[in-house]
A and B are shown apart, each in its own frame.
Chain A
Amino acid sequence: AQSVTQPDIHITVSEGASLELRCNYSYGATPYLFWYVQSPGQGLQLLLKYFSGDTLVQGIKGFEAEFKRSQSSFNLRKPSVHWSDAAEYFCAVGSTGGGNKLTFGTGTQLKVEL
C-alpha cells in the first residue's frame, strides 16, 4: 500500500530564510507526487506535482521540489520564505490505477517569524 511520511510536524523559520520540508513516500512503481498548501480555514491549493521527466519541478509561489528515487523522497524547498507562506503543507502520493487515489502525509505546520 502506498504511504507518505512527513517527519516534521512543526517548523519555524525566519522571514527571508530558506526552507526545506521533508517528504518520504512508499509506492511500488513510479509515483505521482504532489505538494499542497492549506491556509487556516481554507481548502487545499496545489503547489506543484511530479509524474515524470525532470526530477526538479517548479511550482507556484517560488516553491520547488526534487524527486529522488534512491531516497524515496520529494522534499519541498523555497530559497527565501515570506510571512505569507505560513500555512500547513501536505505531501501526497497518487496511484496510477485502482481509482487513482491520493494518499496524504500528516502535514507540516510552517510558522514564519518576522
Chain B
Amino acid sequence: NAGVTQTPKFRVLKTGQSMTLLCAQDMNHEYMYWYRQDPGMGLRLIHYSVGEGTTAKGEVPDGYNVSRLKKQNFLLGLESAAPSQTSVYFCASLGQGNTEAFFGQGTRLTVV
C-alpha cells in the first residue's frame, strides 16, 4: 500500500538549473495535483490533472510545467529554478467520485 510516492524527498538546486519532481500513485486515481507550501501561506495549487494526457493551471503555475503521460504518474518540472521556488512541494491524488485526497510526504526543494 504505497499510496502516493514523491521522488526525491530533498533537493538543493542552483539558480538556473532544471529538475523534475515525480509523483506516483498506485490507487488508479483520475485526479492528481501539485501544491507548494510556504510559511504563512498554506498550500497553493500549482497545476492539476483530471486524467491521463490532461493538465491544467492552478493558482500559482508560473515557472512550472507538468505532464501526465501515464495515469499513475504526474511530473512537475522546473526549467530554470529561481530562489522564489524554494518551498515544500506536495503531490495529491483523488479518485473519481471520492471525497478524500491522498497526499505524498512532500519534497523539500531549496534553490540557492
Q: A residues touching B (Cβ–Cβ < 8 Å)?
A: 4, 6, 9, 32, 34, 42-44, 46, 49, 51, 90, 94, 99-107
A102 touches B100 (CB 8 A): no
Contacts of B43 in A (CB 8 A): 44, 90, 102, 104
A106 touches B42 (CB 8 A): yes
* C-alpha spacing A93/B8, complex, angstroms: 28
Contacts of B92 in A (CB 8 A): 102
When A99-B48, A101-B58 are in contact, do A44 and B31 touch as well, CB less than 8 Å? no
Contacts of B99 in A (CB 8 A): 32, 49, 51, 94
Q: Which of B42, B45, B100, B103 makes the CB contact (< 8 A) with A101?
A: B45
Size category, B interface: 20 to 34
B105 at interface (Cβ–Cβ under 8 A)?
yes
Interface of A is mostly: loop
The list of the 7 closest CB pairs from A to B, nearest first, reads: A104-B42, A106-B42, A104-B43, A43-B105, A44-B103, A43-B103, A99-B48
Pick 26 A–B contacts, CB within 8 A, sort by A: A32-B99, A43-B103, A43-B104, A43-B105, A44-B43, A44-B103, A49-B99, A49-B100, A90-B43, A94-B99, A94-B101, A99-B31, A99-B48, A99-B50, A100-B94, A101-B48, A102-B43, A102-B45, A102-B101, A104-B35, A104-B42, A104-B44, A106-B41, A106-B42, A107-B40, A107-B42
